[in-house]
Amino acid sequence: MKKKMTSNEKQKATELDGIPTELETAKQLVQSVDELQKETQSLKKQIQTLNRNSTIRISIIFIVPGILSLALSIVTESQVLAFIGLGLTFWGALFYLVRPITYVRGSLLSTTATTLYQITDRIIRDFNIKGKGIYVPPYPKEVYLPQHLKGLKETIIFLSQDANQVAPSIEEMATGKFVTKNPKGVILIPPGSSFLDQIEKTLRTDITKMNLEDLCTTLPQLILENFQLAKEIEMKTENNQIHLKTTDSIYRNLYRDENLKSLRLLGDPLTSAVACTIARATGKQVTIQTITVSPDTQTIETTFQLAGG
């Protein structure tokens, strides 16, 4: 016997129609994320244009009278005007060329990094982490991976609950989970992973194709010349271990705080970036064995240990 819908049931059905399903919500979220990303891009462009405008204005102020002076020097055949014109045009061009990239104070970099380590310290305390951090290498970019294994394309650091140095299974790493069950621990993105991307962009070569000796020569030079994050960097390899010595690192103030436990596990952002680079280049897991800091924090010596691939 057919049961007629009461007015209440009808109202409920209409209300349920109005509630978005999970799929619809996900779609809406993806759409809003896309919109926000577009907005961020346009804002970045606006900032770039604003920065460029100021330098362009200065260079125009120099170039226009310079060119006029040069033209006038040809008409009047005056050497003085020619020199003035050359000078002004040259400085105008130079102002355009040497416009600065945004610079920030080095102390600001380490201060902002402190928060990250404080958060990681809380995670370590809450999850009772006892093991060392294991930098797990990513799969090379050109290797095809199915959708469910896409998480393996990024460098990660695994912090184990027990002192055993065993990384979780590929399946667990691929899912992109924060907490792993076997072995128990947490998976984090290392503090130097975005710096590694920057290194790769600057290097313009595939790090996975570099051998360890080449990396030990190229990497310190690259960091010193392009990023000026330390005054001196030395890297050498010896018996499956890599020694890194940084002098006057921009992150040295982080080591003044002896309560930051995670700093000794993950390394400062520069050390972490080096660990990520070694992991990517060798395709092996990397752990930070020791970090020795001089009393004045001027020199930081780190030993990385390579594990099985």
Give me the residues that bind other proteins (CB under 8 A), please.
73-75, 77-79, 81-83, 86, 90, 94, 97-101, 103, 106, 225, 228, 231, 250
Using an 8 Å Cβ cutoff, are 221 and 246 in contact? no
Q: Which is nearer to other proteins, 86 or 307 (CB)?
A: 86
Q: Which is nearer to other proteins, 85 or 192 (CB)?
A: 85
Q: Which is nearer to other proteins, 19 or 98 (CB)?
A: 98
Q: Which is nearer to other proteins, 19 or 97 (CB)?
A: 97
Tell me the CA end-to-end span of the chain in Å, nearest whole number: 68
3-state secondary structure of 236: strand
**Residue 249 C-beta: closest distance to other proteins, Å:** 11
**Residue 72 C-beta: closest distance to other proteins, Å:** 10
- In angstroms, the Cα distances linking 209 to 30, 97, 291 are 36, 34, 28
CB atoms within 10 A of CB 167: 21
**Residue 274 C-beta: closest distance to other proteins, Å:** 19
Task: List the structure tokens of 100.
Answer: 């600065």
Cα angle for residues 198, 202, 155 (degrees, 5° grid) = 35
**Residue 273 C-beta: closest distance to other proteins, Å:** 18
**Residue 88 C-beta: closest distance to other proteins, Å:** 12
Task: Report the C-alpha gap between 210 and 281 in whole angstroms.
Answer: 6
Percentages (nearest 5) of helix, strand, coil residues in the chain:
55, 15, 30
CB atoms within 10 A of CB 214: 13
**Residue 177 C-beta: closest distance to other proteins, Å:** 40
Spatial strand order of the sheet with 241-247 comes to 179-180, 185-188, 156-160, 133-136, 286-293, 299-306, 241-247, 232-238
Q: Which is nearer to other proteins, 187 or 250 (CB)?
A: 250
Q: Which is nearer to other proteins, 77 or 126 (CB)?
A: 77
Give the sign of the dihedral formed by CA 197, CA 203, CA 208, CA 212.
negative
Q: Which is nearer to other proteins, 186 or 250 (CB)?
A: 250
**Residue 296 C-beta: closest distance to other proteins, Å:** 17
